[in-house]
């Protein structure tokens, strides 16, 4: 009887340990998040573009009209890498309580907007004229 009890205890311990060792969740979740952060979400990007960019870049705007088709995919990538911050660094947005653009448009939001603009750029599969 003692022997059986002993075996049951060992068995429970072993299965318990193997469950912990085989748990795959944590590393996978981190990888997924990293992948998402790099690619962004085009639908969210479109929403953010309309909310945060378009009013300053309408056809009658002094800052030039923009749509995803204004640039090619490579030109958008280069623009965000080299010029976006130069152009928008010291700007406040009158339509958003005169808050600085750098505060309103966070790095995460920029990733979504960039994804949207690249996905519908002039030389993309689905060019889009409206923002």
Binding site for ligand HEC (CB under 6 A): 52-53, 56-57, 63-64, 66, 79, 87-88, 91, 93, 101, 105, 113
Burial class (CB in 10 A: 0-12, 13-18, 19+), 25: exposed
Query: From the CB of 51, what's the least distance to ligand HEC, in Å?
Result: 9
Decide whether 43 or 87 has the Cβ nearer to ligand HEC: 87
Decide whether 29 or 83 has the Cβ nearer to ligand HEC: 83
Inter-CA distances, 50 with 2, 3, 43, 71, 97, Å: 73, 72, 11, 17, 17
Query: From the CB of 74, what's the least distance to ligand HEC, in Å?
Result: 14
122 neighbors 72 (Cβ within 8 angstroms) = yes
Distance between CA atoms of residues 94 and 100, nearest Å: 9
Decide whether 81 or 87 has the Cβ nearer to ligand HEC: 87
Decide whether 30 or 74 has the Cβ nearer to ligand HEC: 74
75 neighbors 121 (Cβ within 8 angstroms) = yes
Distance between CA atoms of residues 71 and 123, nearest Å: 8
């Amino acid at each position: 009887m003692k022997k059986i009890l002993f075996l049951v205890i060992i068995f429970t311990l072993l299965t318990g340990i193997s469950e912990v060792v085989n748990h795959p969740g944590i590393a996978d979740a981190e990888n997924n998040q990293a992948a998402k952060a790099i690619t962004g979400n085009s639908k969210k990007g479109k929403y953010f573009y309309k909310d945060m960019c378009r009013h300053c870049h309408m056809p009658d705007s002094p800052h030039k009209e923009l749509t995803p088709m204004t640039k090619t995919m490579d030109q958008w990538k280069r623009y965000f890498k080299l010029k976006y911050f130069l152009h928008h660094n010291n700007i406040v947005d009158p339509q958003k309580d005169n808050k600085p653009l750098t505060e309103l448009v966070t790095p995460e939001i920029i990733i979504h907007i960039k994804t949207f603009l690249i996905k519908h750029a002039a030389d993309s599969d689905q060019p889009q004229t409206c923002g």
